[in-house]
């Protein structure tokens, strides 16, 4: 049985030497294999993964390779395991770890910076200058599980203690996988100003981050909060999460004019851009008032033309974020713990680990109106959970 030197284990949580995990071969080629259970080092713990959600970025990584960076290149054919939005139970402690105990339920952040570069020392660990330089034999301390180091589509994974977020017992496994999604929305709104009470906000794109962006903005006191998108069912979920107004862009000839109409004839203070469409940046720029702020939280799939003249002449601030930085997951989890919003509304489907390819197909092709698809590790039955 698993008992590495210097690692604290418990007879109450027996750990095998081998585990089942999915690894990425060529583009879209996933194989279910046996891998060694990883060993935590100083300031790391071993997590028994209980559930993991599928993110749109996982699909980019699996089918295109971007935005992962493994051994200096795309992650294909490197015995690498994707998946990053997971939660689980602390199963073993690395040397010197006393901040957590075996048996703690946790959710995780994706990024643990190296702690030594300029950005990490500023608290910007999602912008670590050593990104991608520690898979295999090179160890710079940086981890981005599911992007530069092995991720969560397996039974066990190691995490730096800086990436752990304790969760309450009454939070379900499925809801806990959404902490990092809410944390990404929280990070974007933090960069825009943090305290949003009385400020007007537009969220573009009712994907998981956009929907939870609505929830977080409303919880921070923003008013009005508007959500734009093309799918009425998702816009309705946005209403349940706190949107004061929803706009189906297919039904409006001029969505910018509609936003201004709903905001008393003027532009809004903030836009959280989660659509990633070619025209999204310019529409966001035209929606905000002079001196307003835009946060780009989506990964566009193509280069776009941007009206820089309009942005400069109107003193508009433009921010780009990567992931869930500056401990935003802790603030998001605090809101979820207090039931400030119900993140479970975006969870639609659950599959067992062995059926990951089907889960990915549901997420990729939006089968049965899938929004957030979750993979469970233990005793999961394939099911659909209606967003109610």
DSSP H or E stretch at residue 220: none
Strand spans (E) along 5-43: 18-24, 30-36
Which residues, listed in sequence order, are joined to residue 34 by a DSSP beta bridge?
Answer: 20
Residue-level pLDDT at 138: 61
**Model confidence pTM above 0.85:** yes
Residue-level pLDDT at 275: 92
Superfamily the domain 182-320 falls into:
NAD(P)-binding Rossmann-like Domain (3.40.50.720)
Q: Six-digit token pair at 263?
A: 């905001």
Sign of the torsion formed by the C-alpha atoms of 321, 322, 325 and 328: positive
Which of 85, 123, 93, 119 is closest to 13 using CA atoms? 93
Q: Six-digit token pair at 129?
A: 């200058």
Whether the CB-CB separation of 217 and 335 falls below 8 Å is answered with: no
Whether the CB-CB separation of 199 and 266 falls below 8 Å is answered with: no
Residue-level pLDDT at 388: 38
Q: Do the domains spanning 18-179+328-384 and 182-320 agree at the CATH topology level?
A: no
Q: Taking the domains of the chain in order of start, what are their residue ranges?
A: 18-179+328-384, 182-320
Range list of H helices, the chain: 56-64, 118-121, 173-176, 179-192, 208-219, 232-240, 255-262, 280-287, 308-313, 328-337, 356-365
> What are the pLDDT tens digits along the chain (388 aa)?
889 999 999 999 999 999 999 999 999 999 999 999 999 999 999 999 999 999 999 999 999 998 899 988 999 999 999 999 999 999 999 999 999 999 999 999 999 999 899 999 998 999 999 888 776 656 778 889 999 999 999 999 999 999 999 999 999 999 999 999 999 999 999 888 877 899 999 999 999 999 999 999 999 999 999 999 999 999 999 999 999 999 999 999 999 999 999 999 999 999 999 998 888 999 999 999 999 999 999 887 788 889 999 999 999 999 999 889 888 999 999 999 999 999 999 999 999 999 999 999 999 999 999 999 999 986 444 444 433 3
Residue-level pLDDT at 316: 97
Which residues, listed in sequence order, are joined to residue 156 by a DSSP beta bridge?
Answer: 48
Residue-level pLDDT at 131: 86
Q: Six-digit token pair at 262?
A: 């709903």
The angle, 0 to 180 degrees and rounded to 10, between the axes of the packed helices 356-365 and 56-64 is: 110
- Please give the CATH number for the structural domain made up of 18-179+328-384: 3.90.180.10
3-state SS track over 166-181: ECCCCCCHHHHCCHHH
């Amino acid at each position: 049985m698993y008992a590495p030197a210097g690692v604290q284990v418990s007879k109450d949580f027996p750990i095998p030497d081998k585990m089942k995990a999915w690894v990425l071969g060529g583009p879209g080629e996933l194989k279910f294999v046996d891998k060694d259970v990883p060993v935590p080092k100083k300031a790391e713990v071993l997590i028994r993964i209980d559930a993991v959600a599928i993110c749109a970025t996982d699909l980019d990584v699996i089918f295109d390779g971007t935005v992962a960076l493994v051994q200096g290149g795309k992650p294909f054919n490197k015995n690498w395991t994707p998946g990053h939005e997971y939660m689980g139970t602390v199963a073993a402690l690395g040397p010197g770890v006393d901040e957590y105990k075996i048996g703690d339920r946790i959710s995780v952040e994706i990024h643990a910076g190296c702690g030594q570069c300029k950005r990490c020392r500023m608290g910007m660990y999602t912008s670590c200058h050593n990104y991608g330089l520690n898979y295999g034999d090179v160890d710079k301390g940086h981890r981005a599980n599911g992007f530069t180091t092995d991720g969560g589509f397996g039974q066990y994974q190691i995490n730096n203690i800086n990436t752990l977020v304790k969760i309450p017992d009454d939070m379900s496994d499925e809801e806990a996988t959404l902490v990092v999604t809410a944390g990404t929305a929280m990070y974007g709104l933090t960069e825009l100003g943090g305290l949003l009470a009385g400020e007007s906000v537009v969220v573009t794109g009712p994907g998981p981050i956009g929907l939870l962006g609505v929830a977080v903005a409303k919880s921070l006191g923003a008013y009005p909060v508007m959500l734009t998108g093309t799918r009425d069912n998702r816009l309705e979920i946005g209403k349940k999460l706190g949107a004061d107004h929803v706009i189906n862009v297919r039904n409006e000839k001029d969505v910018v004019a509609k936003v201004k109409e709903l905001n008393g004839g003027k532009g809004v203070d903030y836009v959280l851009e989660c659509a990633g469409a070619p025209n999204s940046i310019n529409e966001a720029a035209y929606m905000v008032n002079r001196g307003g702020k835009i946060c780009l939280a989506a990964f566009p799939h193509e280069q776009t033309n941007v009206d820089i003249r309009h942005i400069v002449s109107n003193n508009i601030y433009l921010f780009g974020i990567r992931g869930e930085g500056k401990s935003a997951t802790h603030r998001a989890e605090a809101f979820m713990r207090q039931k400030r919003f119900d993140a479970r509304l975006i969870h639609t489907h659950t599959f067992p680990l062995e059926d990951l390819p089907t889960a990915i197909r549901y997420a990729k092709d939006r089968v049965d109106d899938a929004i957030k698809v979750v993979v469970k590790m233990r005793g999961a039955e394939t099911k659909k959970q209606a967003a109610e």
